[in-house]
Amino acid sequence: MLSSGHRPFRLTRYFVLVSGVSMAVLGIVLVMVTSSVLNEQSARTATASAHDLMGYAVRPLDVPTLRSGTLSRQQRDAVQETVGRFTDRMVDLTLWTTSGALVYSTTDDRSSTARDPLSFTKALTEERPQTFATTDVTLGPDGTVRRPVLDIYLPVHAADVNGPGGGRSDTVVAVAQIRLDDSEARAGVSEAVRQVTAAVVIGLVALWLVLLRTVHTTSRRLRAVARENARLALLDSLTGLPNRRLLADRMRQAIDQARRDEGRVGLVLLDIDRFKDINDTLGHDRGDELLEQVAERMRGSLRDDDLVARLGGDEFAILLPQVASVDDARRLAERVGTLFDPPFELGDLVLHVEPSIGVACLPDHADDASSLMRTADVAMYRAKHSRTGVAVYSAHTDKSSTVRLQLLGELHQALRESRQDELQMYFQPKVDLSTGRTVGYEALMRWHHPQRGILTPDLFVPLAEQSGVIRDLTRHALASSVAQLAQWRAQGWHVPVAVNLSAHDVTSETIVEEISALLTRYDVPARLLEVEITETALVFEPARIVPVLARLGRLGVQVAIDDFGIGSTSISQLRTLPVDTLKIDRLFIRDLTEPEREAPEVIVQAMVDLAHSFGLSVVAEGVEDEQTAVVLTHLGVDQAQGYFFARPLPADRLEPPHLAGPARIDGLAGPRLW
Ligand code: C2E
Ligand code: CA
Ligand code: CA
């Protein structure tokens, strides 16, 4: 996976090569320069000694003698004596006249001191000593002896000799050739060069080793950083779990493996219900904290083979690379679901959250990675929708989910200004059980779908709630209903209309401003508008919903609790809620006429009595027959609504309430007979 892994290695090799060559070149140059400097130094010293020697040698002579080149015996002896004192290093000494005639030589064999014409001339004309190294070869008793010598040509100035003898003192009057034994000096230089070489080699090697070590550790560190970066690119930064990329990678591997061994790969997708609300209400920091805790619980609970990943947001995935059966995958998903049983502690807050978990397996539900992902997603969606917690993919669900997605798109379209007449409000009367008269309507939406015909809200309201379109849908329901109220008022009907609100609508206070603005715009008194909010919605987030309902109440809008009885509000809690009306859920009403059932009646009776004691009016919904209406009247229910009285109808098909006669309930006798 780490394709850049070889690079640091190449770096070290490259360093070894380049630095090795340059260090060697540097070493050689250093040694060469040192040796040349030492040689020059040694030659300079030798030349200086030769100059001194020459000075001693010519001191007994004078200018005329040197010019003529003929020495007296006395002079020759004097020179011989002086020069004789320097025989330890000097090989020989020769004096020439400026024209090249021999004046004096220490050697008997004159031919051995053959003059080098070039050096001679240079010393004469440039008036500077000329020094060069040569080898002296002599025939000794044990064969030829070679020794290194320095051959030095020196100009002899008038000032060097005894008595100037006329003329300027810096005139060159003769040339001296002195050959000095150089073996010792050369040995010294060689030794010095050897030492310098050793020092340079040791120093450079040490330096090189230090550099090599540095480069090597740096390259190792670079490699580690590269590896870490690659790893981070595959991990989620918040939870440290593998991310979508890594999951996709492992999923491909697992699928390849499963295809080879005819095995099974399971994918579990999980998302946290209401996470958006938690994030919005408690802030993103708390949201992140919750995600971290969820990750922690999931990480701790799975086998090593299984991979937990965070896909982003509140979505997690568990890859089961080798799962024996779909049932096993489902069982694991259920076990993961139980991880959410203990509440989460976010600071001083204790929070219960529930996940929706979808399960899909390959090859049962999918044949490749992307379809496995999709089918698990469909299953998760179903789990969320049906609130079952865990759902295993089924082809049937998938089909309906495709339809759902399409429908959602179309709902978006229908909510556009230009197409809103597709979404029409129907009105169902609410009948006062003591008079049989219509005392209000509930507004229920119908979608006149261009292809699918008339659709009831259970087909599209839950969709709208899940996708956030609900706010637009509610706005439309409110606007149409208030507009209808205004129209009826103009016709002289003053009957209230109830509009259904979803939990999402009443978690923000803007709904109060919107309703208030609508009422002002259509000049409709607030008491004619009622809002219905389901008990489950209220239980779901009372802290945010109750203040909104209270503000609506203060505005004058009536508030009803819808579908009451199936949620978990205790009746005594009702006292604290800012509501005016209780609508008993159809479930209880339906059961009232079951012959062997006493309990529903008792329950409804208790609801009615308590609601009344708190000053709430009670509405029974789903009244489908006369017998039920009779029972409800006996139980003291104030109003009823249901197919027995009327189905929801568009406004233009409603009978005007003041013209419609009272509903007849034949089963009632005495004063209750309308
Ligand atoms: P709900 O508020 O409980 O509305 C009553 C439902 O019971 C309506 O279904 C109504 O047609 C139906 N109904 C009335 N009488 C009877 C009866 O005697 N027997 C039976 N079996 N059913 C009866 P509908 O119109 O299909 O609406 C379903 C749900 O959709 C409503 O339940 C309400 O929660 C929601 N809804 C409807 N319109 C809107 C809307 O404009 N906005 C929002 N947010 N939700 C709406
Ligand atoms: Ca309702
Ligand atoms: Ca209801």
Indicate the SS3 state at residue 208. Answer: helix
Distance from C-alpha of 209 to C-alpha of 406, rounded to nearest angstrom = 71
What is the structure's pLDDT at 570? 65
- Quote the pLDDT of residue 569: 67
User: Which residue minimizes the CA distance to atom 7 of ligand 1?
Assistant: 622
How does 11-47 read in b/e, with b if 16+ C-beta sit within 10 Å? beeebeeebeeebeeebeebbeebbeebbeebbeebb
Which of these, 536, 533, 528, lies nearest to 555 by C-alpha position?
528
- What is the average per-residue pLDDT within 396-423? 81
Interval between CA 501 and ligand 2 midpoint (Å): 8
Ligand 2 centroid to residue 673 C-alpha, Å: 28
The pLDDT assigned to 387 comes to: 67
Kindly identify the ligand whose nearest atom is closest to the C-alpha of 444: 1
CA distances from 564 to 439, 500, 539, 574, 613 (A): 20, 14, 11, 11, 17
- For ligand 1, atom 21, the nearest C-alpha belongs to 622
Domain boundaries, the chain: 15-190, 244-402, 406-653
Lowest mean pLDDT of 264-278, 500-514, 591-605, 630-644, name the range: 591-605
Band (562; pLDDT cuts 50, 70, 90) = very high
The two tokens of residue 508 are 């923000």
Residue 565 C-alpha to ligand 3 middle, in angstroms? 11
**Best of 415, 444, 626, 627 for a ligand 1 pocket test (most atoms within 8 Å of beta carbon):** 444
| Residue 672: band (very low, low, confident or very high) from pLDDT cuts 50, 70, 90 | very low
Confidence of residue 660 (pLDDT cuts 50, 70, 90): confident
For residues 358 and 270, give the distance between their C-alpha atoms in angstroms, rounded to a whole number: 6
Classify domain 15-190 at the CATH class level.
Answer: alpha beta
Q: pLDDT band for position 422 (50/70/90)? A: very high
**How far does residue 585's CA lie from ligand 3's centre (Å)?**
6
- pLDDT of amino acid 568: 61
CA distance 556 to 561: 16
CATH architecture of 406-653: Alpha-Beta Barrel (3.20)
Ligand 1: residue whose CA is nearest its atom 25: 444
Nearest CA to ligand 1 atom 19: 622
Q: Which helix (H) or strand (E) holds 566?
A: none
| Chain centroid offset of residue 227 CA | 15
Distances (CA, A) of 602 to 228, 505, 562, 609, 667: 68, 34, 20, 11, 20
The minimum-distance atom of ligand 1 relative to the CA of 425 is 41
Task: Tell me which residue has its CA closest to atom 38 in ligand 1.
Answer: 444
Cα of 561 from ligand 2 centre, angstroms: 8
Residue nearest atom 23 of ligand 1, based on CA coordinates: 622
Q: Whose CA is nearest to atom 11 of ligand 1?
A: 648
- pLDDT tens digits for range 379-397: 988 888 776 789 999 887 6
What integer best gives the mean pLDDT of the chain? 86
Residue 574 has pLDDT above 80, yes or no: no
Of residues 446, 485, 500, the one with CA closest to residue 621: 500
How much helix, strand and coil, in percent to the nearest 5, is found in the chain?
55, 20, 25
Helix H or strand E encompassing 260: helix 244-261
The beta-strand segments (E) located in 110-157 are 130-140, 143-157
pLDDT of residue 646: 95
What pLDDT, on a 0 to 100 scale, did the predictor assign at position 404? 77
Residues with CB under 5 A from ligand 3 (ion): 562-563, 621
- pLDDT one-digit tens code per residue, 155-190: 998 888 876 566 677 888 899 999 998 888 888 888
Cα–Cα distance between 99 and 627 in angstroms, integer? 160
Which atom of ligand 1 is least distant from the CA of 501?
44
What's the rounded Cα separation, in Å, for the pair 670 and 433?
14
pLDDT of residue 6: 46
Q: What is the 3-state secondary structure (H, E, C) of 121-132?
A: HHHHHHCCCEEE
The fold adopted by the segment(s) 244-402 is Alpha-Beta Plaits (3.30.70)
Residue predicted with more confidence, 18 or 532: 532
CA of 457 to the centre of ligand 1 (A): 7
Tokens of 635: 């139980």
Ligand 3 centroid – CA 564 distance (Å):
8
Is the Cβ–Cβ distance between 372 and 358 less than 8 Å?
Answer: no
**Residue 670, pLDDT score:** 41
Q: How far is the CA of 498 from the centre of ligand 1 (A)?
A: 11
Say whether pLDDT at 612 is over 60.
Answer: yes
Shortest-distance ligand to the CA of residue 498: 2
pLDDT digits (tens, 9 = 90+) for 484-499: 999 999 999 999 999 9
Measured distance CA(360)–CA(394) in Å, rounded: 9
> According to the model, what pLDDT value does residue 623 have?
96
CB 323 within 8 A of CB 360: no
The 10 Å Cβ neighbour count of residue 339 is 16
- Tell me the C-alpha distance between 514 and 475, whole Å: 8
Relative to the alpha carbon of 583, which ligand is closest? Answer: 3
What whole-number percentage of the chain has pLDDT above 70?
92
Question: pLDDT for 224-260, tens place per residue?
Answer: 887 777 666 778 888 888 988 889 889 999 999 999 9
Q: Is residue 38 pLDDT above 50, yes or no? A: yes
Q: What is the mean pLDDT of residues 579-601?
A: 84
Identify whether the C-beta of residue 235 lies closer than 8 Å to the C-beta of residue 247: no
Question: 197 C-alpha vs ligand 3 centroid, how far in Å?
Answer: 102
Residue 674 has pLDDT above 80, yes or no: no
Which residues does a 6 A CB cutoff place in the pocket of ligand 1?
428, 444-445, 456-458, 461, 474, 477, 500-502, 532, 562-563, 621-624, 641-643, 648
pLDDT digits over 315-369, tens only? 999 999 999 999 999 999 999 999 999 989 888 878 888 899 999 999 999 888 8
Phi and psi, residue 535, nearest 5°:
-60, -40
Average pLDDT over residues 215-223: 86
Atom of ligand 1 nearest to the CA of 456: 26
- Look at residue 2 in the predicted model and tell me its pLDDT: 37
| Residue ranges with strand state E in 450-580 | 453-455, 497-501, 529-534, 558-564
Share of the chain above pLDDT 90, in %: 42
- Can you tell me which residue has the tokens 């340059």? 22
User: CB–CB of 499/532 below 8 Å?
Assistant: yes
Q: What is the pTM of this model?
A: 0.51
Cα–ligand 3 centroid distance for 588 (angstroms): 11
Cα distance between residue 560 and residue 581, in whole Å: 4
- Ligand 1: atom nearest CA of 474 is 42
**pLDDT for 496-520, tens place per residue?**
999 999 988 998 789 999 999 999 9
| pLDDT tens-place string over residues 48-85 | 999 988 888 888 888 888 888 888 888 888 888 888 88
Q: What is the pLDDT of residue 582?
A: 95
pLDDT of res. 17: 87
Is 482 in a helix, a strand, or coil?
helix
Beta-sheet pairing, 529-534 with 390-392 = unpaired
How far apart CA 318 and CA 334 sit, in angstroms, is: 12
In sequence order, the 6+-apart residues with CB closer than 8 A to the CB of 481 are: 425, 443, 497, 499, 529
Q: Which atom of ligand 1 is nearest to the CA of 444?
A: 38
